[in-house]
Amino acid sequence: MQDNGSRKLYPTGFIKEIDGKPYLTWLFETPGIELVPRELIERVAALMVLGARKYAPDNWRLGTSPEALQEYRNSLARHIIAWYRGDNDEDHGAAVIFNIIAHDVCLNPDFPPFILTDKRGSLPGSRDNNT
């Protein structure tokens, strides 16, 4: 393990090396998470609730096969076209964002592990989480 010798002591007694690149640097640097419109996050979350009710919570995370990944790409294309046409029968904009996220997460389920997993490495609320 590399060590540059600089440390930060937290009030709890936790000590961490200061390397200029905190663990979540990419999340908080430009563009930061605070720049994502809250409304967009809420729209995607609402869509995911509908999917959880229709299929199962976190069912989308199981779409890792080549066929399932193709389904995400097909759905993405359908929703882009519907969004472009101005269809308002469902939230096609949120579905576009969801399909991109779902495809990329399922294509590489280990990225980013600090967002998608709890401290034990289990998906929050998943079957492999024993709490």
Query: pLDDT by residue (tens digit) across 11-29?
Result: 877 777 676 555 555 444 5
Domain boundaries, the chain: 34-116
> For residue 65, what are the contacts with CB-CB under 8 A and spacing of at least 6?
none
Strand partners, 17: 7
Question: What b-and-e string marks burial along 40-49, b requiring 16 or more CB atoms within 10 Å of the CB?
Answer: eeebbeebbe
> For residue 126, what are the contacts with CB-CB under 8 A and spacing of at least 6?
58, 61
Query: pLDDT by residue (tens digit) across 65-84?
Result: 889 999 999 999 999 999 99
| Pairwise CA distance, residues 7 & 24, whole Å | 17
Residue ranges of alpha helices (H) inside the chain are 25-28, 38-54, 66-85, 92-107, 113-116
pLDDT of 115 reads 45
Digitized pLDDT (tens) for each residue of the chain, 131 residues in all: 566 777 777 787 777 767 655 555 544 455 567 778 899 999 999 999 999 999 988 899 888 888 999 999 999 999 999 999 999 999 999 999 999 999 888 887 665 544 444 444 444 444 444 44
Tell me how far the alpha carbon of residue 37 is from its chain's centroid. 15
110 DSSP assignment: T
pLDDT of 106 reads 84
